[in-house]
Structure 1
Amino acid sequence: MIIRQPIIRTDKWSLTPTAEQRLLFAETVKAYRRLCRHLVGVIFTHWSELGTLRSQKVIPAVERLVHQTSQNPDVKYPGIDQAFHKFPSYYRRAAIAFAVGQVSSFVTRYQKWQSGIRNRRDAKPPTLNANAGCYPSLYKGQCYKLHGYEQIEIKVFTGSDWVWTTVQVSGLRERHTVDSNKLLSPSLVFNQQACHLSVPFECHPEKRQANTNVVAVDLGINTTATVSVRASKTMGKGGNLHKGFCSNTYRKCRHINQQIAHIVSKRIVVIAKQFNAEAIVFENLKGWKATGGRKRSNLRQRFHGWLKAMIRDYTEMKWQEVGGQTVDVIAAYTSKLAYDGSGVVRRDSTNYALAKFTSGKRYNADLNGSQNIAARGILKLTCRKDSEERSSKRPGRSPKSWACLCDLWTPNSQVSTDTTTSRQQVV
């Protein structure tokens, strides 16, 4: 029996605090980070004992070192309770969990460095960062209370005491509307640029009852993404740039690219849901590098800004949330071979986005490629299902890696021959 692992996705809930609440949030984050710095030192000092404990036992073990109670009157570090008077227990446990993760990560990286596993021979040893820019995790009922989805009550620090304050939720996404999604403990993200809740959800998508079709995506240069729905019936030269060179420009470009990738991937998933597709098919472009175009040419620059990996990854994540699967097929000659089996196409000399078939017909080059991608995806899915039905004594034939759309029109006995012919024409 195959147990499907839950998928964790995070939403951003925007908050609109008052000027007074912004001061309270700043004090809360400041106090939380101070406690984390203290705890990192304590945990690292006792890591030889704490590092062997399971995750359920390590937090109580650290609390016995730093938090004084009637059942634990003698603590090794009483100064932490004195410095963080009335610190909420659930905030403290969240800080302990973060500090344990920091120390564990450092110890693992340092051991790898000691054993010689390094990116460079002269790599410096890793350092333990106790001053990490962390944000407090909020536990339901103890650190936050949700009033519908318009307001949230958060326990905050005034500088001398912990009080509750209610803040407006001005924007959220859609994952909270899915009944099968489980809301986990959010984090309060507050700094000079941002004020929001980072809200993780544990997603349990239902198994899709899909039709036997696929959505194929051709990630191109002329067009960002071309989609087909197909049904199956069967730096400077010799020097180094200074650190941070054009960092603001690159950051803005990166954010723009991420926004474009999110918009495109969301649209692809909407199309796949609209046609109840079984899978979304992509070309396998991992490790692909541009070979065409002159050095520093416009074509090279367009290839460098190609969002192929980002769009593919975002699409897969969104498609997983609704229970869909993603298939990768061989990318070779998907756009070069005509979908009707007529052979190699030529790009139009006046409009590179058009392909010219041997018959003289002109067709959108990216749409031609996406239809060939769809055919390869269908054959891959079909062969996979056929091999599951056959016994181990009769292994299924390999998927048609070089197939075109026309291979779906021919009888099964002719598919291999037609595919081989297409490959010979290319060669």
Structure 2
Amino acid sequence: MRMDRWALVAGPEQRKMVQETVALYRAYTRALIGVLWVHQREILAAASPNAMVESLIHATARNPDPQYRFFDHRFPKFPSYLRRAAITAALGQVSSFATRYARWQAGVRKRRDALPPRRTGENNLNPPLYRGQCIRFDASYHVAEIKVWSGTDWIWTKLHIAAKRHRHEASQNKALSPTLLADGKSVKLAVPFEVPVQYPPRKSVQRACGVDLGIRKTATASIVSTDGTVVARRFFHRGADIDRRDKGLVAVRSKARFTMGKSGKLSAGFCKAMYRKARNRNRDMAQRLSREIVAFAQEHGAQAIVLEHLKQYRPRAGRKGSTLRQRFHGWLHSLLAERIRERAEELGLLVEFVNQAGTSTFAYDGSGVVKRDARNWSWVRFTTGKRYHADLNACYNIAARFFAKMLGLTGRNAQACARGKSSATQPRIPVTLSTLWQHAQAMVAEREAPTTALA
């Protein structure tokens, strides 16, 4: 499932009607929650909870005298599809509270003195628009007709779609019912799409894009084939955006120093807007970089994207309060990996995660442990004296680990990084790019062996 947000062009009067429609839907749901609290047990035990709730609040020819006439008087001509959507949303909130309260009563709590969950009628729900009943699109998706509350009646209003993405153009994608969003400044449609995903078989992958997520370079990618050939490589870095983000965080530190001095506490919500800007910059960088990395992989025919498994990794470099520690806090390893995975899966690319241990420690040519440059940690020196970029070396090894696992080369002699504490008869060899070279040479020798014997 993927969600697109389409911006709508709405005048002042149309924006006001849309906002009133959203407010009316939330008020209707809030009133429904009150009814469900009263009849919670009998409704949840009914064969059709939605039908039972509707019989309590809505008058029909077969049900002329509902128990709660308030709804028909307070919300006249409320569309049936919106009413049923509101009932489903209210049932979800009541059922959620009942589950959480039962868990609290059973003693499943984060702390022994944890307070019980509180009931609330407030919600920030948005009305779903069912096609043909609450929303209609033209053939080219340039105009959307939406049923809104004008203050006296439910009417259809035309809104032009200002911006949209391209998921609706793919014939295999199935568009579901959109949701109406109104935040006071703009009007949007949240359109969900059911996207079929078809991954290539792991054994059929001939090229993989190894991605190393770093601090000095945001990401480094290389295209590697099964025989260890490096087809392409590229650095991805948004230095200007990172500088803006870090500059804002330095300003936060300065403000905190002048606010509380050497000791003391900061108030809740201190520099809230500046932290929000930093998060938004990180989110924007992750969106842009993921798009560039996936496009790079597609451009060179990679069927898989390989990343390091860094979900539980917590860097410990830098002293407390240092700028290096701050840069690690702003590291985009989790967010960027998630965005890459989402984009790649939608395009049918395989996404794999490999163990991160030793990818930067060992030279890709199999010469052994590398040594970091004392003046510039972006560079390393091999035992042979060769000087190479650390991130490029790491992304070669990341891609090699995927192929080594796929080809079954991850036995005892291709697992670890150095001689371990166990009584092994020979040193353990790390999986590097040279592992693929050796495998390719062995395969060539195996194919040529019968020919040599016949000769």
Q: TM-score band, normalised by the shorter chain?
A: 0.7 to 0.9
Which of 172, 197, 212 in structure 2 is aligned with 1:180? 172
Distance 2:302 2:44 in 1: 47
Distance 2:442 2:119 in 1: 63
Report how far residue 157 of structure 1 moved: 0.3
What residue number does 1:372 align with? 397
Confirm or deny that 1:11 pairs with 2:39.
no
Report if aligned partners of 1:153, 1:165 keep a CA contact under 8 Å in 2. yes
Q: Secondary structure at the match of 2:145?
A: strand
What residue number does 1:271 align with? 296
Confirm or deny that 1:248 pairs with 2:248.
no
More deviation in 280-289 or 161-170?
A: 280-289
What residue number does 1:212 align with? 206
In the alignment, structure 1 segments of 5+ residues that lack a partner are 1-7, 388-395, 416-427
Q: Percent identity?
A: 43
Report how far residue 211 of structure 1 moved: 4.2
Residue 182 of structure 2 aligns to which amino acid in structure 1?
F
Q: What are the equivalent positions in structure 2 for 1:11-410 lying under 5 Å apart? A: 11-52=4-45, 57-147=48-138, 148-208=140-200, 211-233=205-227, 241-383=266-408, 400=415, 402-410=430-438
| Alignment TM-score, normalising by the size of structure 2 | 0.82
Change (3 A) 1:302 1:322: same
Report how far residue 121 of structure 1 moved: 2.8
Change (3 A) 1:399 1:321: farther
Change (3 A) 1:53 1:397: farther
Report how far residue 208 of structure 1 moved: 3.6
Deviation string 1:78-113 (CA, Å, 9 cap, x unpaired) is 221111110111111111121111112212222222
Distance 1:238 1:288 in 2: 31
Q: Secondary structure at the match of 1:374?
A: helix
Q: Secondary structure at the match of 2:296?
A: helix
Report if aligned partners of 2:365, 2:433 keep a CA contact under 8 Å in 1. yes
More deviation in 228-237 or 66-75?
A: 228-237
Distance 1:251 1:355 in 2: 37
Distance 1:400 1:358 in 2: 21
Query: Is the radius of gyration larger for structure 1 or structure 2?
Result: 2
Distance 1:414 1:52 in 2: 67
- Count of equivalent residues: 396
Change (3 A) 1:16 1:184: same
Residue 156 of structure 2 aligns to which amino acid in structure 1?
W
Residue 189 of structure 1 aligns to which amino acid in structure 2?
L
Distance 2:319 2:88 in 1: 53
Distance 1:137 1:398 in 2: 57
Distance 1:326 1:240 in 2: 44
Report how far residue 42 of structure 1 moved: 1.4
Report how far residue 59 of structure 1 moved: 2.1
| Alignment TM-score, normalising by the size of structure 1 | 0.87
Distance 2:263 2:86 in 1: 47
Distance 2:25 2:209 in 1: 47
Q: Secondary structure at the match of 1:199?
A: strand
Change (3 A) 1:374 1:190: same
Report how far residue 233 of structure 1 moved: 3.8
